Amino acid sequence: MWQAARMDLHPALAPLAGLLGTWRGTGHGVYPTIDPFDYGEEVTFAHVGKPFLSYVQRTWEPDSGAPMHSELGFLRATGADRVELVIAQPFGATEALVGTVEDGRLRLRSQAVVTTPTAKRIDAVERDVTVTRDAQGPVLRYDLRMAAVGEPMTHHLAAELRPGD
Which residues in this chain contact a copy of itself in the complex, by CB under 8 A?
1-4, 7, 40, 42, 48-50, 52, 54, 56, 58, 60, 65-67, 70, 72-74, 76, 78-79, 82, 84, 86-96, 98, 111-112, 114-118
Shorter beta-carbon distance to a copy of itself: residue 49 or 152: 49
**CB of residue 132 to a copy of itself, shortest distance in Å:** 26
Residue type, 59: T
Sign of the CA dihedral with 124 first, then 122, 92, and 156 last: positive
Shorter beta-carbon distance to a copy of itself: residue 26 or 78: 78
Q: How far apart are CA 126 and CA 122, in angstroms?
A: 11
**CB of residue 73 to a copy of itself, shortest distance in Å:** 4
Q: DSSP string of 139-162?
A: EEEEEEEEEETTPPSEEEEEEEEE
**CB of residue 35 to a copy of itself, shortest distance in Å:** 20
Q: Is 65 exposed, middle or buried (0-12, 13-18, 19+ CB in 10 A)?
A: exposed
**CB of residue 19 to a copy of itself, shortest distance in Å:** 15
Query: Is the distance from CB of 116 to CB of 95 less than 8 angstroms?
Result: no
Shorter beta-carbon distance to a copy of itself: residue 149 or 155: 149
Buried b (16+ CB within 10 A) or exposed e, 13-22: bebbebbeee
Shorter beta-carbon distance to a copy of itself: residue 94 or 130: 94
